[in-house]
Amino acid sequence: MPKPPVRAEAPPAEAGISVEQAVKVREQAPELYDLWLKIAQEKATTATYVDRAPYEVPERLAQSGRPRALAALIVLLSFCAYLAWLGGPGPYIAGVIAIFDLIAMLGIFFGLRPDRLSQSRRPGPKPLSVT
């Protein structure tokens, strides 16, 4: 899985204040400087989370969905076993349902990984990332 770009703390020019102004504020009003510094740190923390979120959030969602998918698989295969136990055309119907379910689950668990999706959708050269 690709790593998110690392972002350093914003330089003073990005934060809307020059270095000279920051030094003057620190000397004249230290409490205002401390507040500005706290806001700058929170802004940098938020920016790094926004940079990391596209990589971390989908992975967490996928991990939380796997137990539910496994429970759904067990329930559906139990239903297929019940259909097979009934006899008549039940085993054939149960077999078709079970095959489609297993193929779908295997596709979800193994075939839809983000690294494979990005490779299959972009056949050309990968663009350079700017960090």
pLDDT digits (tens, 9 = 90+) for 2-57: 555 544 444 444 556 778 887 888 888 888 888 888 998 999 889 888 888 777 77
Query: Looking at the domain assignment, is residue 5 inside a domain?
Result: no
What is the helix (H) or strand (E) element at residue 62, kind and residue range?
helix 30-86
Structural domain span for residue 71: 19-121
pLDDT digits (tens, 9 = 90+) for 65-106: 778 878 888 899 899 999 999 988 989 999 999 899 888 878
- Identify whether the C-beta of residue 69 lies closer than 8 Å to the C-beta of residue 109: yes
Query: Looking at the domain assignment, is residue 51 inside a domain?
Result: yes
Query: Looking at the domain assignment, is residue 131 inside a domain?
Result: no
Which pLDDT score is estimated for 103? Answer: 87
Which pLDDT score is estimated for 75? Answer: 92
Query: Looking at the domain assignment, is residue 127 inside a domain?
Result: no
Structural domain count of the chain: 1
Burial class (CB in 10 A: 0-12, 13-18, 19+), 94: buried
Which pLDDT score is estimated for 2? Answer: 52
Which pLDDT score is estimated for 12? Answer: 46
- Identify whether the C-beta of residue 62 lies closer than 8 Å to the C-beta of residue 112: no
Query: Looking at the domain assignment, is residue 130 inside a domain?
Result: no
Query: Looking at the domain assignment, is residue 35 inside a domain?
Result: yes
Query: Looking at the domain assignment, is residue 3 inside a domain?
Result: no
pTM above threshold 0.75 = no
Query: Looking at the domain assignment, is residue 46 inside a domain?
Result: yes
